[in-house]
Structure 1
Amino acid sequence: MSEHHAEQAEERDTESAVRHRTRRMSGRDPHESGRASTPLELLFDLTFVVAFGTAANELAHALSADHIGSGIAAFAFATFGITWAWINFTWFASAYDTDDWIYRVTTMVQMVGVLIFALGIKPMFESVTKHGETLDNDVIVWGYVVMRVAMIFQWLRAGRHDPDRRQACRTYVVSIAIAQVLWCILALVDLPVGTTFALIIVPFLVEIGGPALAERARGGTPWHAHHIAERYGLMVIITLGEGMIGTMAAINALAQDGLDWEIGLFTFAGTALTFGIWWCYFSIPTGEILHARRERSFGFGYGAIGLFGAIVAIGAGLHVGAYYLDHHSKLGLTATVLTVVVPVALFIAVFYAGYSLLSRSFDAFHVVLLAVTVVVLVVPVLMARSEVDLSWCLLVLALAPWVTVVGYETVGYRHNVAVLESLTD
């Protein structure tokens, strides 16, 4: 290349760094050094703060009104839609983020879809928890379809610009399109709530089956392992925010008559529980494992639906505790404690199962940690049955994730070392 042409190329590179002109979606380098979340991705995540916050708030209302089964069903439905939309965008962005003006505008459309989705969560909950004849999921579906149609456009563009991976991109397009048609039919046809929830299985299977087919049988996409690990970690932090919100709600209820020791106890319990969950999650070397074993991405990626849901539900449970303390709950003390114990138990179960699937390993020490954790989960329930104050029950419950933290920092880290060493074999 001549010196003149080299200068022109350098000028084009400089321009592309400061001007968001149209670029080809030829695929990012999956081994790109220093790959990190972009400001646009972080802005995109803020809409999910709203969506998760709305779902947690509605779950707390439902549980405190003693609509337990229906509240959980509505929360599961909402959580799947929220999480799945985020997962799809995240993996696409990891593979094809061009950060040009078309990509940015399309992402903005998806953000609008998330907010529309969030607007539909309350009426959907009410139709389920108040035993309506039909599921009021219209607004949720329209918001979801806005998000997913925008993704169809993104995948079509990627398929046009990246011929080597066109089959994979088309598979995404077809599966998303079919699923959206099915979602729209379910929204337009007024069926009993139970029937609608049963039929939801069909578009659900189409949604999760598309990526599996595209990545495993159609060539896959160039997603970046460390970038994906960071993005999931950031979403864990966002969902943990619901725990802090629930803690603050309880503090506000307690502080009506001034500050006292009970407020301090509840504050410490809620914060310790949230912090312990954070420590647990970030003890796993996710990026390193995915980088070396890309085929393990599905268990990790799909498992996050249950993980995120459990963490958000913990925050909702703490919010139920606030309603109990403020005498605005139909639940008794034991049931109130269980609204936090159950999602904590679910988090622990998904966390350990996810680690075993991701690392393809088994550590007998984990059985010991799980056994001790089960004891810690049972004790607060027994305390509540003995009419011990809620704050003390939650303080003991807050020890549950710390069993894993202490076990990892003293002994369990050795297993992680062995897992990382095995990746180079």
Structure 2
Amino acid sequence: MPGMTARSRAERHRASTPLELFFDLCFVVAVAQAGGRLLHAVAEGHAATGIVSYAAVFFAIWWAWVNFTWFASAYDTDDPLYRVVTFVQITGVLIFAAGVPRAFDAGDWTIGVVGYVVMRLALTSQWLRAAYCTRGAERRVALRYAVGITVVQLGWIAMLLLTDDTGGARAAVFAVLVLAEMSVPAIAERDRPTSWHPRHIGERYGLFTIIVLGETIAAATVAVQEALDEHRAFGELLPIAVGGLLIVFSAWWIYFAVPIHDYLRGSREAFIWGYGHYLIFGSAAAIGAGIEVAVEEAVGKAHVSDTVAAAAVTVPSALFLLTVWALHARHFKRDLAEQLSLPVAALAILACTFAGEWAVLAAGLVAAATVIVEVALSRRPAVTG
């Protein structure tokens, strides 16, 4: 059996593998579960608690994906053992997805933590294999990852011992464990980064963005279809459907306007960019839930005002634009006009919240106009001194 050695950062034509794409698709189940629970929470008038639960659940989904993605970028051997261990990780993802409703609605993380244990046992074995097959600083990095992941996972298991009578202790422990999770890579790679591949990482994040946006379209389509079948409210639903599509299409266009791999030159840029995608992925998935809320409000099923229903779409849409600008697009802007286009668009989309039944359509038109402006600005001749 071949050893597990690091792949070269200079490797040409490094692309996502079919196994990585399969891994990503399995996360759709968990993303759909989180979005569905957010929909029900907001539609029932529990937006604040729903957003908090969604943020916690989506962090767990996103972080599991991040752990695998960066490891695979550095150590993907694609041999039989690697594939089998990845299948075990996928099994853990599906177990976690089954526990999302309980974690979301009742704060019961038991099934979710079991799924994480399965994923972490598999990932830790991958890091130990990498440590066994390497020497020196590279081996130390792999061992730090294995130890760090194991220690934090023990923390998640210990969190289950805290009962509801403990008050805010579980929430505090959850926050501490989140910080501990995100510190493991920084500690493990403090003196030597892993050999992740910039072009490959850029492609992996882009593909997961597509998958999340695809889930958003799927969820919104089902919501519109069910509303039409039950209520025949074509006139009320058409503006929401058109506006939702314009938002999602524009989100895709804006995210992929520039390639990111040339910016990811070192670990500092990569950490900030990679961690920041929690907001990009989370807001993209929340757009779908928001469109579903708007549909249910339009046909009288949601127990919220039209302003709250509109905000369920406009707030995550604006957050998506602002985060893409902050992490991604602003590094390639040439002047103030280009820099301001996305932040101004985000503010304009937020203002659409108060447009009543036309809010989603108005937000979609703003998003589409933003794409047109971005394209026009990017095609101007460069000013030379």
Aligned ranges 1:244-283 → 2 under 5 Å: 244-248=217-221, 249-256=223-230, 258=232, 260-283=234-257
Structure-2 separation of matches of 1:166 and 1:230: 27
How far is 1:361 from its partner?
7.4
Aligned ranges 1:1-400 → 2 under 5 Å: 22-127=1-106, 135-164=107-136, 165-191=138-164, 192=166, 194-215=168-189, 217-248=190-221, 249-256=223-230, 258=232, 260-290=234-264, 292-355=265-328, 359=331, 363-366=335-338, 368-370=340-342, 372-384=344-356, 389=357, 392-400=358-366
How far is 1:254 from its partner?
2.9
CA distances 1:188-221 after superposition (whole Å, capped 9, x unpaired): 2214463312211222122111111223x23121
**Equivalent residue letter for 1:148:** R
Compute the TM-score of the two structures, normalised by the length of structure 1: 0.84
Contact 2:240 2:294 in 1 (8 A): no
Structure-1 separation of matches of 2:375 and 2:329: 18
How far is 1:26 from its partner?
1.0
Contact 1:172 1:210 in 2 (8 A): yes
Q: Secondary structure of 2:185's match?
A: helix
Task: Indicate how the Cα distance of structure 1 residues 48 and 202 shifts in structure 2: closer, same or farther if over 3 A, else same.
Answer: same
Q: Secondary structure of 1:398's match?
A: helix
Structure-1 separation of matches of 2:23 and 2:215: 18
Identity of aligned residues (%): 38
Task: Indicate how the Cα distance of structure 1 residues 78 and 220 shifts in structure 2: closer, same or farther if over 3 A, else same.
Answer: same
How far is 1:187 from its partner?
1.4
Structure-2 separation of matches of 1:260 and 1:63: 23
Structure-2 separation of matches of 1:89 and 1:374: 32
Structure-2 separation of matches of 1:374 and 1:33: 37
CA distances 1:247-283 after superposition (whole Å, capped 9, x unpaired): 2112430344558455443332221111100001101
CA distances 1:96-147 after superposition (whole Å, capped 9, x unpaired): 01111111111011011101111111011221xxxxxxx3111111111211
How far is 1:245 from its partner?
2.3
How far is 1:378 from its partner?
3.8
Structure-2 separation of matches of 1:371 and 1:297: 23
How far is 1:400 from its partner?
3.8
Structure-2 separation of matches of 1:193 and 1:341: 34
Q: Secondary structure of 2:16's match?
A: coil
- Structure 2 partner of 1:17: none
Structure-2 separation of matches of 1:238 and 1:114: 16
Structure-1 separation of matches of 2:226 and 2:271: 41
How far is 1:241 from its partner?
1.7
* Number of aligned residue pairs: 380
Structure-2 separation of matches of 1:343 and 1:193: 30
Structure-2 separation of matches of 1:219 and 1:360: 28
Contact 2:29 2:94 in 1 (8 A): yes
2:373 to 380, 389, 407: 407
User: Who wins on radius of gyration, i.e. which is larger?
Assistant: 1
Contact 2:128 2:146 in 1 (8 A): yes
How far is 1:157 from its partner?
0.4
Q: Secondary structure of 2:192's match?
A: coil
Structure-2 separation of matches of 1:119 and 1:112: 11
Which stretch shifts more, 293-302 or 85-94?
293-302
**Equivalent residue letter for 2:157:** C
CA distances 1:213-257 after superposition (whole Å, capped 9, x unpaired): 223x23121111111111101100111023212321124303445
Q: RMSD value over aligned CA atoms?
A: 2.2
Which stretch shifts more, 222-231 or 191-200?
191-200
Q: Secondary structure of 1:162's match?
A: coil
Compute the TM-score of the two structures, normalised by the length of structure 2: 0.92
Task: Indicate how the Cα distance of structure 1 residues 97 and 256 shifts in structure 2: closer, same or farther if over 3 A, else same.
Answer: same
Q: Secondary structure of 2:14's match?
A: coil
Structure-2 separation of matches of 1:362 and 1:410: 13
Contact 1:178 1:206 in 2 (8 A): no
Contact 2:321 2:346 in 1 (8 A): no
Contact 1:269 1:398 in 2 (8 A): yes
Contact 2:30 2:97 in 1 (8 A): yes
Flag structure 1 segments of 5+ consecutive residues without an equivalent.
1-21, 128-134, 419-425
Structure-1 separation of matches of 2:12 and 2:311: 45
Flag structure 2 segments of 5+ consecutive residues without an equivalent.
none
